[in-house]
Amino acid sequence: MNSNPCERCGKLVPRHDLTHYTTDAGTLLLCTQCFNADVAERVGVENFDNHPLDPISISAVDGVRHEFHFRTRLMGGDMVTLEAFELNEGEPSGYQFQLIGTPGEDRFSQLGRLVKRIHATLATKYVEDGKYGLQIRDMEVKGSIEADISEGTELFGTRPPMLVIDGREVSWEQFGEMLMTFEGFQFKLQIIDKSEDLES
């Protein structure tokens, strides 16, 4: 596991739990708890619930269980982000969700909203393993756009997209192959912010 010390409290935490925090005094690598405590003090948010949330395991429609880790970050006086992500070798990967709330909202009602969204997403599968490899199940695909950081995949000097569909990584090339099943069809592409509900 890739652990680093928080430059404020010294606690060893996984990399996904560290934030580059820039202040007048320079940039510090802070654990989520120290980051939130510092932001709360700066923007004057009192009684901010800074307790870490335990991971939750949720079953997808195919019976596969997914373990979600949570990270709450205070982004200012009126905004809290709550993120849920799976881990692969200590790095966030697979299904990833973000919800934007306010510092005053009860943490558990916020978590409830996010978990409801996770359940809705895990209830649908957009791709399946077919005779010719991975295929689109039913003329529609939803997922997220990440970067393909594997070696030798640079395209026109930049990173090609790595799509995450049903929580699994689908390379740009693989996605192209999947689309060829529909040669001659039309398509519609809509880009949606990470914090919005994809299933609504």
Chain contacts with Zn ion (rule: CB under 5 A): 6, 8-9, 31, 34
Q: What is the DSSP string of 116-145?
A: HHHHHHHT---EEEETTEEEESSS----EE
CB–CB of 10/31 below 8 Å? no
Phi, psi for 169 (deg, rounded to 5): -75, 130
CB–CB of 127/166 below 8 Å? yes
Beta carbon nearer to Zn ion, 19 or 93? 19
Taking every pair of Cα atoms in the chain, the longest distance, rounded to a whole number of angstroms, is 58
Beta carbon nearer to Zn ion, 36 or 121? 36
Beta carbon nearer to Zn ion, 31 or 80? 31
Beta carbon nearer to Zn ion, 6 or 118? 6
Beta carbon nearer to Zn ion, 37 or 198? 37
Name the minimum Å distance from CB 39 to Zn ion: 13
Name the minimum Å distance from CB 13 to Zn ion: 7
Going by C-alpha positions, the residue among 108, 112, 116 that lies closest to residue 198 is 116
